[in-house]
Amino acid sequence: MTQTPTARPEARPAETWPVIAITMGDASGIGPEIILKALARPEVYAICRPLVVGDAGRLREVAGLIGASLTVRAVEEPADGGFACGTVDVVDLGLIPPGHPFGKVLPLSGEAAFRYIERATRLVEAGEADAICTAPLSKEALHAAGHKYPGHTELLATLTNTPEVSMMLVAPKLRVIHVTTHIGLVDAIRKIEPGLVFRVIERGRATLVKAGIADPRIGVCGINPHAGENGLFGHGEEEEKIIPAVAKCREQGWAVEGPLPADTLFFRATRGDFDLVVAMYHDQGHGPVKVMGLEAGVNITIGLPVVRTSVDHGTAFDIAGKGIADDGSLLEALKQAVELAPRRG
């Protein structure tokens, strides 16, 4: 499988490295901890200029809990950042009070997570940052704060007035883009139609071309077991909803195959036969990615006017505040953000 590059050349002047706005996520979860652990690594500062959008006070509190020898420095805007390893620059929204609980669903945490995303989005739109990398938020806390979004993807689409976006998951040996995500299975099948399938393939292909894969090989999952097996399973969903989209892709000269049985397609993709798998619904794509490596998975929102990557795990309330969270997924998300961000200079 052709691998996406993971770092830009370090020979470029530091002032041309992308500014990555890292949102703190839910303050009651592991977001602050994994951010501090990632930003303690010199290699992060060798590829980008990381800027946290969150709460300086919460980060200082967590740094004390985990014994991180980092200075947390509040800044008004990205231009004030020093971007030196050992000091964490934070656009400080000052929303989280001292002693805010860990491991609980709280409206204040949901409101703060929303505000971090909102501010980061505006920074990128204004050209003050180049990409967004998000720590996990709690959908339940977000809803409790009055923001009725299924997750980051839909929230960012609303903030940027983007009518349609796609979720791509990247894990070792596997990339998956989803036709539908946060809706029930019956609703997902109803929503799938040839135009949507084609647009998702088009967005995924364009992203891989931008990342350096000239002619991505794309495998498209069926909906039913065995991709319907010529009408044996299901009610003709593959013929009605998927085959016309694949035919249109082939007319463009793209290397697209399908619909294929999902079980064998994922095996073939991890073997190296495909650069991208198109999953029809949430669990069809998420399951294989998480089996391949949850700690190294990355979530990329495709189709936004801003670059956004994210960890591929949740808030982990059960271990929040204990200092045992793994920052591996955040590190991979930062690398992907660097690769997808527009170049400066």
Indicate whether 187 and 276 sit together in one domain.
yes
Torsion on CA atoms 50, 55, 59, 61, rounded to nearest 10: 170
Its pTM stands at 0.83
On whether both 148 and 176 belong to a single domain, the answer is no
168-215 pLDDT, tens digit each:
998 888 999 999 988 999 999 999 999 999 999 999 999 888 878 899
Range of the domain at 124: 1-162+304-345
Indicate whether 216 and 258 sit together in one domain: yes
- Identify the segments of the chain with pLDDT beneath 50: 1-10
Tell me how many domains the chain contains: 2
- Note the pLDDT tens digit of each residue in 52-93: 999 999 999 999 999 999 999 999 999 999 999 999 999 999
CATH number of the domain residue 153 falls in? 3.40.718.10
Strands of 19-23's sheet in order across: 71-75, 87-92, 49-54, 19-23, 131-134, 308-311, 298-302, 166-171, 174-178, 276-279, 217-221, 255-260
Instruction: Check whether residue 25 and residue 105 sit in a common domain.
Output: yes
Same domain, residue pair 264 and 315: no
Q: Are residues 24 and 153 in the same domain?
A: yes
Which of these, 278, 208, 215, lies nearest to 246 by C-alpha position?
278
pLDDT at residue 9 in the model: 42
269 and 154 within one domain: no
Q: What is the pLDDT of residue 13?
A: 60
Is the same domain home to 1 and 73? yes
Neighbours of 35 (CB within 10 A): 26
Could you tell me if 3 and 150 lie in one domain?
A: yes
For residues 240 and 290, state if they share a domain.
yes
Domain identity same for 280 and 173: yes
| Residue 311 and residue 278 in one domain | no
